[in-house]
């Protein structure tokens, strides 16, 4: 009934924490373009970055192509003004970039239901990451009271020839 970081750096779950449903994953695809999809619950999101999924990693050496945000349920901010999506290392404490995928995605992009916004290059990242990381989300300026977003991250491996 809890979690533990083992001496070999693996994040372990026990008891009821192990049964939390997975809310994201990577699509199987052929060719260069890969895609990660996450269902993001905005309710209760704060300014502290939160890991969205313990089983989805953004791999090393990938070039970000675009981030697509689709509104499942309208985001209602408490005091929040926008959201950031970033990366944190697998040690769960070292931030790679708090805004790797999205930097200040404004509230207007989280309403109305069914709206799709595509951010080319995400937050403007032009270089591949050098370490794998968990995908994080943080509210800017306060918290959200409700809202659900479907986020698709498209990326490709840079040409290494």
Q: State pLDDT tens for residues 121-132.
A: 766 666 678 888
Which tokens is 98 given?
A: 């708090």
Residue 76 CB neighbours (<10 A): 15
Q: Provide the pLDDT for residue 8.
A: 72
Torsion of CA 100, 134, 104, 142, to 10 degrees: -150
Q: What is the pTM of this model?
A: 0.85
Q: Which CATH number fits domain 23-156: 1.10.3210, 1.10.3470, 2.60.120, 3.40.109?
A: 2.60.120
What's the length of the chain? Answer: 161
Tokens of residue 107, six digits: 């509230």
For residue 146, give Cα distances in angstroms to 14, 98, 129: 29, 22, 31
Give residue limits of the domains in the chain: 23-156
User: pLDDT category, 135, cuts 50, 70, 90?
Assistant: very high
CA-to-CA separations, 43 to 2, 84, 142, 145, in angstroms, rounded: 22, 15, 12, 5
CB distance 86 to 129 below 8 Å: no
**pLDDT tens digits for 74-120?**
888 888 888 999 999 988 889 988 999 999 888 888 889 999 999 98
Rounded CA-CA distance 72/124 in Å is: 25
- Residue 160: predicted pLDDT: 58
Structure tokens at 113: 């239901």
- Phi first, then psi, for residue 148 (nearest 5°) are -135, 130
Question: Residue 62's pLDDT band (boundaries 50, 70, 90)?
Answer: confident
Give DSSP secondary structure letters for 30-47: SSSEEEEEEEEE-TT--S
């Amino acid at each position: 009934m809890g979690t533990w970081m083992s001496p070999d750096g693996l994040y372990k779950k026990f008891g009821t924490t192990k049964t939390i449903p997975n809310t994201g994953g990577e699509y199987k695809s052929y060719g260069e373009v890969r895609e990660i999809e996450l269902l993001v619950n905005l309710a209760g999101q704060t300014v502290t970055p939160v890991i969205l999924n313990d089983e989805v990693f953004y791999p090393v050496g990938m070039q970000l192509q675009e981030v697509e945000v689709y509104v499942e349920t309208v985001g209602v901010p408490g005091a929040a003004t926008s959201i950031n999506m970033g990366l944190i290392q697998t040690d769960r404490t070292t931030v790679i970039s708090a805004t790797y995928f999205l930097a200040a995605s404004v509230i207007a992009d989280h309403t109305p239901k069914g709206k799709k916004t595509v951010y080319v290059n995400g937050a403007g990242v032009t270089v591949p990451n050098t370490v794998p990381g968990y995908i994080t989300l943080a509210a800017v300026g306060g918290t959200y009271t409700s809202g659900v977003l479907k986020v698709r991250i498209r990326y490709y491996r840079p040409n290494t020839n």
